[in-house]
Amino acid sequence: MANMEEIIKEMKNGGISRRSFVKKMLALGLSFSAIDLLLSGTGQNVFAATPKNGGHIKAAFMMASAAETLDPAKFKKPLDYARGYQLYNNLIGINSKLLPEPELAESWEPNADASEWTFKLRKGINFHNGKAFTSKDVIYTLNRVKDPKTGSPGKPYLDSVLEMKADGDHVVKIKLSEPSVDFPMIMGEYRMLIVADGHTDFDKPNGTGPFTLKEFKAGMHMIAVKNPNYWKSGLPYLDRVDTFSIPDAVARTSALMTGEVQLVEDINQKMYSKVKANPNINVEVVPAGAHNPMSMITTAGVYKDANVRLALKYLVDREEYIKKAYSGFGIVGNDHPISPVDPMYNDDLPIRQYDPDKAKFLLKKAGAQDHVFELICSEGVGGEASVNGAIVYKQMAAKAGVNIKVTKAPADGYWEAVWMKKPFCMSAWLMRPTANMMMSLVYSSDAPWNETFWKRPAFDKLLIESRKTVDFDKRKQLFGEMQKMIHEDGGVIIPVFDKFLDARSANIQGVETHPMGPMDAYKFSEKAWIA
């Protein structure tokens, strides 16, 4: 059955009659009064043909931290990304089909073997302080990300960059140490948002984005106001956007239902039916690649033994895990980070089945049958489902006589005090637009976010080979082999990929769904408008 937005779109385009529209809306559970409101020329008229200017919206996210920043090179969390897209632009955008599209760069092209890329930049664009956007800004931005002293999570994406040079004010040539057919997609990554040449004071950000900063308090909130000189004609529509955190999923969902906020990063999954039935809210189920691994540091304690890592993977009944921990909103994962949504997904690798007997055998073989495995989790890391997942996993392991101790840690400071420090903990990853970017960021031997400290030269070799392989089938085979290596030997248990619940007030228009994240992969502010 079509969802509300699909039916509304069909009505707008003249594809169905008023009578058919009413029947379809009744089938979705809407009352006659709610349908009348939708069709009315007054009230929340979702059929307004032209977006309206003005208005103020609030967006609530899962996790806040005192470590928040407005320096794109150092972004780490969805709240950072959403704020970044208000203040800055990328060279290249990544649309909902995971394809690149022009942003500050109007075009790009490689040389014969994709070892050098030329980006032609748009002219007539200014930063918030009036400075003209040029090639120097691109080179400065990328050099900051590439510099180890910056400490940017985006650094590994640029490790292959040998040389960057300007060919006038509006052309940048980038030479790589190895071919990379995916390189333009990297320019659409969060950390590659363009900052002005020489800019260092990120308490006073200077971008080219649709909004400018009014107020920012790390760990609390940001207020952004409309950039009247934005280079995209007619955008943005909104006058102001507030972003902040409501960590508790029930409270966050309730805030949406009462109209206190208009968009949320995630809703409480158990409240889905209630939210779906509310005519003042649109909620869509979006298959995605985000996931919450149970991550083991492969250089620490019992986790050094591949038998232990494999045993712990056999303790998950994946379908049951999705049902109990995610209220059914998930896609079965197979202990590697590439989702079935990704074209590089290994369809031929059998899904690992729940096998407590095999798990017991492997633990005994490793001499770890009596070990107490402490799994640390937090609602600020992947939301309520992540904590539920840890508890469900404990229950599944108990059936095999394996003792999992679940420890719940505070959200604030989790990434600094727990992640990549404690040997067994819950983690959280959004989908990256390409398998190469995911593998480079987390699984290659030299990746700064290699959370399991898993290093395999054979894996690195396959990853390098994939970057220069143009043929789709050969490329998929290479990524398939990488997925198999992680599945068999890696330090992650990945039982599920998200079907996230993208929810917002029904009168918020112009926001698309996107597999890389809710709220149009956090880019909602640029095109959102209030009906």
Helix/strand/coil (H/E/C) assignment for every residue in 484-517: HHHHHHCCEECCEEEEEEEEEECCEECCCCCCCC
Give the pLDDT score at 44.
41
Structure tokens at 491: 């330090």
In a domain, 122, yes or no: yes
CATH number of the domain encompassing residue 521: 3.40.190.10
In a domain, 75, yes or no: no
| Domain range for 106 | 89-192
* pLDDT tens, residue by residue, 391-403: 999 999 999 999 9
Q: What pTM, to 2 d.p., does this model score?
A: 0.79
Q: Mean per-residue pLDDT for 351-370? A: 97
Percent of the chain beyond pLDDT 70? 92
* pLDDT tens, residue by residue, 80-112: 999 999 999 999 999 988 899 999 999 999 999
In a domain, 200, yes or no: no
DSSP secondary structure string for all residues of 284-337: EEEEEEEE--EEE-TTSGGGGSHHHHHHHHTT--HHHHHHHHSTT-EEE--SSS
Q: Is the same domain home to 242 and 387?
A: no
Confidence category of residue 32, pLDDT binned at 50, 70, 90: low
Confidence category of residue 41, pLDDT binned at 50, 70, 90: very low
Whether 15 has a pLDDT exceeding 60, the answer reads no
Q: Are 332 and 465 in contact (CB under 8 A)?
A: no
Query: Is the four-CA dihedral 8, 9, 10, 16 of positive or negative sign?
Result: positive
In a domain, 475, yes or no: yes
Q: Is the same domain home to 395 and 292?
A: yes
CATH number of the domain encompassing residue 126: 3.90.76.10
Whether 16 has a pLDDT exceeding 90, the answer reads no
Q: Are 215 and 223 in contact (CB under 8 A)?
A: yes
- Give the Cα separation of 217 and 66 in Å (integer): 9
In a domain, 83, yes or no: no
In a domain, 73, yes or no: no
In a domain, 317, yes or no: yes
Give the pLDDT score at 256.
96
Whether 18 has a pLDDT exceeding 90, the answer reads no
Give the pLDDT score at 340.
95
Confidence category of residue 503, pLDDT binned at 50, 70, 90: very high
Domain end (from 167, 192, 217): 192
- What are phi and psi for residue 282, nearest 5 degrees? -105, 130
Domain end (from 165, 192, 219): 192
Q: Is the same domain home to 354 and 319?
A: yes
Instruction: Tabulate helix, strand, coil % of the chain (nearest 5).
Output: 35, 20, 45
Whether 349 has a pLDDT exceeding 80, the answer reads yes
Give the pLDDT score at 428.
94
Q: Is the same domain home to 227 and 303?
A: no
- Give the Cα separation of 71 and 80 in Å (integer): 9
Q: Are 237 and 466 in contact (CB under 8 A)?
A: no
Q: Is the same domain home to 330 and 461?
A: yes
- Give the Cα separation of 216 and 212 in Å (integer): 11
- Give the Cα separation of 280 and 30 in Å (integer): 10
- Structural domain count, the chain: 4
Provide the 10 A C-beta neighbour count for residue 204. Answer: 12
To the nearest whole number, what is the mean pLDDT of the chain?
92
Q: Is the same domain home to 492 and 519?
A: no
Q: Are 83 and 520 in contact (CB under 8 A)?
A: no
Give the pLDDT score at 502.
92
Q: Are 229 and 33 in contact (CB under 8 A)?
A: no
Q: Is the same domain home to 266 and 350?
A: no
Q: Is the same domain home to 134 and 213?
A: no
Q: Is the same domain home to 266 and 349?
A: no
- Give the Cα separation of 74 and 65 in Å (integer): 13
Side chain identity, residue 414: Y
In a domain, 76, yes or no: no
Q: Are 258 and 264 in contact (CB under 8 A)?
A: no
Whether 259 has a pLDDT exceeding 60, the answer reads yes
Give the pLDDT score at 448.
81
Q: Mean per-residue pLDDT for 452-459? A: 98
- Give the Cα separation of 102 and 112 in Å (integer): 21
Cα 219 to its chain centre, rounded Å, is: 20
Q: Is the same domain home to 435 and 517?
A: no
Which of 21-25, 308-312, 385-389, 433-437 shows the lowest per-residue confidence on average (mean pLDDT)? 21-25
Whether 1 has a pLDDT exceeding 60, the answer reads no
- Give the Cα separation of 105 and 107 in Å (integer): 6
Q: Is the same domain home to 340 and 476?
A: yes
Domain end (from 158, 192, 226): 192
Q: Is the same domain home to 492 and 359?
A: yes
